[in-house]
Every structure is written in C-alpha cells, then in structure tokens.
C-alpha cells in the first residue's frame, strides 16, 4: 500500500499552528546560517527593523537596507526575540488568506517578492533557532513550518510528524495534533476507492485507541470514529460490534460520536428536513418504506455520476415502496447553483439544502449514499455491493 500524507493533515492545524507555520529546512550542521544560494538580494525597510515585521521593497538596492542574514542575527540574541521574529515573519501576507490553497503561487511582482523574502528569512531564522536553542520546546512548532512550506516529500513530512508525535517535551496540543496526523498517514485510505481501503486492522485499531487513551480531551476523538467507519466500509457487518465499546471510550468526543453513530444504526431515524421545492421530508412517516438518501454537491458535480444508477433503481422499485431523497452539501452562497442543478438534471425528488442533515449522519465526505430500511434504521452498504440488489433485499424484508 502506497504511503501518502494528505493535505487535509495540514489544513487540520489549529489556529495558533497556522499562525506560526510557513517554511523551514532542518537545522544544518554549519556554524551560521547562509543566504540561499543563487537567491536575489532581499531588502528590509530599515524603518521597520525594530518591529520585527519588515516590509519588502523589490525596487530597493541591497545597499539601502539590511540583508536577510544580518536581520536574522539581529533578532537572535535571545530565544524569545528570535521566536517572535519567526512568528511575525510567518504571518506576513497571511492576514487576508490564512488558508491559502497549498501550491497556489502568487502572480504579481509584490506578492512574489514577499513570498521569496518570507521563505528566505524563515529558512535562515528557523535554522538559526535550531542551532542556538536546540533544547527549546518551540523547536517542534518550528518543524511544522517545514510541512506548511509544502516542498517536502511525503516520507519527510511523515518523519517530522512522527518525531513530534512522540516527543515527550513537545507541547501537548502540538503533540496531540501530530499523533492524529500520524493516524491519518497510517490509515492509508484517502482516495475513497475500495481497493485503497486497508480495513480496520488490529494494528490500526491499537493506534487509534492509544490516541484516545493518551488524549482524552482531544476533539479529534470524534474524527477517530469517522476514521473507523471509513475503514469499515468494505465490512459493514462489523460496524455495530466496533461502535458499541467505543461509547465508553476514555476520549469524551469519541464516546459521544460513537453513541450517535450507534443510535443511527439501532434506533429508528427521527429527522425532518424541507426540500428546495418546499416539500417536507419526515423519516418517521417513511416507516414501512425504504429510503435512498444521496448526498451531493455542485463543485465538480460530485454525486451526479450516480444519477444513472439512481434513475435505474427508482424505475425498478418505484411501485414497491422506494423513496429517493437528496441533500446538497454546498455552502449557503451556492443555493442558486444548487437550484439550477436540480432543474437541469431533472432531480424530481425532494432535495434538501440543510447542513443539519449531513451533521446528523456524521458525514465526513461526499458524494455519499445511505439506505434507510423499513424500520427507519441506517443500513450499511459495502461499496462493492450492487445498489439495486441491496434495495431489493430491504424491500423484500418483512416489516
């Protein structure tokens, strides 16, 4: 199985990590930081040298300001001063775009100059921080800067997260974040295709349970439940037996999420939503029928590839008690596009546009399809199963 570290691991960084994460290279074994070879001279505005938030002047000459190396050394007289300078440099250009898409390149000259300055200064400043203050616990947050830079291989990123995850002197929140990213890396099922799903192996379950034991107050406990459910996609018959003990997990968020997921599978669904056409859908009133609920979104027409399958199943079972439902997962500002898609694709069944519905199902990805049986219980379906056959089995089951 190919090992790969998903970009979602970067975007799961909490705000204070985002504020300090940008770019860096591992501490070099040299006497002092050196200017990046071949890089153009980057100049600081001397008027800003005392603030630690220098401005970039691409038109200025090297003689009119302070070089990057000299500025780093000026701020390196104490760990606190150098770290503050690193944080402020990391914030440059991030005020309006704190979650700029990974790989997005600036296009105008000023933004390019700022990026080059920022990268050069952070490479030098973090390397100097490692050299001068090798025992400072903030070195782990500095290592996250490597990852945010986006230039490392998957293996290098995984190695850094692994180091932070099990470093006893790393800050608790950063350590828990790293442990969760390591879980994502080890999960290995990021594309959603059945062939890429390793299943919930005993070793993976051991690692997830250890995370929940070591970090009982970490909110990612809820994501650990979703991770398990994703790994169980090919073996849905095991879901209830896995969820049951998790309701007593030492991680409070795991326990709550597991309880909710278990209720969906063991208690009749009590949920209402109103379709875009104004029609109310009440699952309590669908007892005795089978519902197929399709979650979709307009970006990339995700979920629309299942439309032929939906139409085929509806045509086959329309007179036998099958109800087709849909829920668009677009953001609120996309309502017009959602309505246009419903019209253009002739989705003549109730389609909701209510974020409470996917939250009720604990939905983590889309497109997704759920079947609800005659008793109002969520029915697990393997991705390899034939949807029409599954619907047929549920309709044939005794009430």
Looking at residue 149, its pLDDT comes to 67
Residue linked to tokens 């990021």: 190
Average pLDDT over residues 103-129: 78
**Which tokens hold the place of 313?**
């199943």
Quickly state the pLDDT bin for 364 (edges 50, 70, 90). Answer: low
> How would residue 249 be classed by pLDDT, with cut points 50, 70 and 90?
very high
- How are beta strands 272-274 and 280-282 bridged, if at all? antiparallel
Whole-number Å distance between alpha carbons of 307 and 324: 11
Does the pLDDT at position 337 exceed 70?
Answer: yes
List, as own/partner pairs, every contact residues 41-50 make where C-beta atoms lie below 8 angstroms and the sequence separation is at least 24, other chains included.
41/67, 42/67, 42/68, 42/113, 42/116, 42/117, 42/120, 42/121, 43/67, 44/68, 44/71, 49/74
**Domains of the chain, CATH where assigned:** 8-152 (no CATH), 189-266 (no CATH), 272-396 (3.40.30.10)
Q: How many CB atoms lie within 10 A of CB 166?
A: 12
Alpha carbon separation from 203 to 40, 116, 208, 272 (Å, rounded): 49, 43, 9, 39
Does pLDDT of 99 surpass 70? no
Helix, strand, coil percent values for the chain (each to nearest 5): 50, 10, 40
Task: State residue 72's pLDDT score.
Answer: 76
End-to-end Cα distance, the chain: 43
DSSP characters over 27-65: PPSSSS--PPTTPPP--B-GGGTTTT-PPB-TTS-GGGS
pLDDT at 207 over 90: yes
Q: What is the DSSP string of 315-375?
A: HHHTTTTEEEEEEE---GGGHHHHHHHHHHTT--S-EE--THHHHHTT--SSSEEEEE-TT
User: 97 pLDDT exceeds 70?
Assistant: no
Tokens of 315: 């045509």
Calculate mean pLDDT across residues 234-245: 91
SS3 label, residue 134: coil
Residue 225 pLDDT more than 90?
yes
Which pLDDT does position 68 carry in this prediction?
67
Rg of the chain (C-alpha set): 26
pLDDT on residue 366: 63
What is the Cα–Cα distance from 70 to 78, expressed in whole angstroms? 15
Over 50: is that where the pLDDT of 29 sits? no
- State the average pLDDT over residues 242-260: 96
Q: Which two tokens stand for residue 104?
A: 């997005």
Beta strands 290-296 and 368-372 are antiparallel
């Amino acid at each position: 199985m190919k090992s790969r570290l998903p970009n979602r691991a970067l975007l799961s960084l909490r705000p204070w990590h985002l504020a300090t994460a940008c770019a860096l290279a591992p501490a070099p074994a040299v006497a002092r930081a050196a200017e990046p070879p071949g890089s153009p001279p980057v100049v600081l505005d001397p008027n800003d040298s005392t603030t630690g938030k220098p401005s970039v002047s691409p038109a200025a000459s090297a003689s009119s300001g302070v070089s990057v190396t000299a500025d780093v050394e000026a701020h390196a007289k104490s760990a606190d001063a150098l770290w503050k300078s690193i944080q402020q440099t990391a914030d440059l250009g991030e005020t309006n775009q704190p979650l700029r898409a990974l790989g997005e390149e600036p296009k105008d000259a000023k933004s390019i100059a700022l990026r080059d300055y920022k990268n050069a200064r952070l490479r030098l400043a973090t390397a100097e921080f490692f050299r001068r203050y090798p025992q400072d616990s903030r070195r782990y947050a500095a290592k996250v800067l490597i990852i945010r830079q986006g230039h490392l291989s998957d293996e290098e990123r995984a190695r850094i997260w692994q180091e932070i995850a099990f470093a006893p002197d790393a800050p608790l929140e950063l350590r828990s974040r790293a442990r969760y990213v390591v879980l994502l890396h080890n999960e290995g099922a990021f594309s959603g295709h059945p062939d890429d799903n390793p299943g919930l192996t005993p070793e993976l379950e051991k690692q997830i349970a250890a995370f929940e034991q070591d970090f009982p107050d970490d909110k990612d406990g809820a994501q650990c439940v979703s991770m398990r459910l994703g790994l169980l996609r090919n073996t849905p018959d095991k879901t209830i037996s896995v969820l049951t003990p998790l309701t007593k997990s030492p991680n409070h968020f795991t326990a709550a999420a597991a309880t909710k997921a278990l209720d969906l599978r063991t208690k009749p669904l009590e949920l209402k939503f109103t379709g875009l056409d104004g029609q109310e859908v009440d699952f309590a009133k669908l007892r005795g029928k089978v519902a197929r609920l399709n979650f979709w979104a307009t970006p990339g027409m995700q979920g629309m590839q299942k439309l032929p399958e939906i139409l085929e199943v509806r045509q086959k079972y329309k007179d036998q008690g099958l109800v087709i439902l849909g829920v668009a997962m677009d953001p609120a500002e996309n309502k017009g596009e959602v309505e246009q898609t419903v019209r253009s694709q002739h989705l003549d069944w109730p389609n909701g546009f209510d974020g409470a519905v996917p939250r009720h199902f604990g939905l983590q990805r889309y497109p997704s399809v759920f079947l609800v049986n005659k008793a109002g219980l969520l029915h697990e379906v393997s991705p390899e199963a034939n949807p029409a056959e599954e619907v047929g089995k549920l309709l044939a089951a005794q009430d």
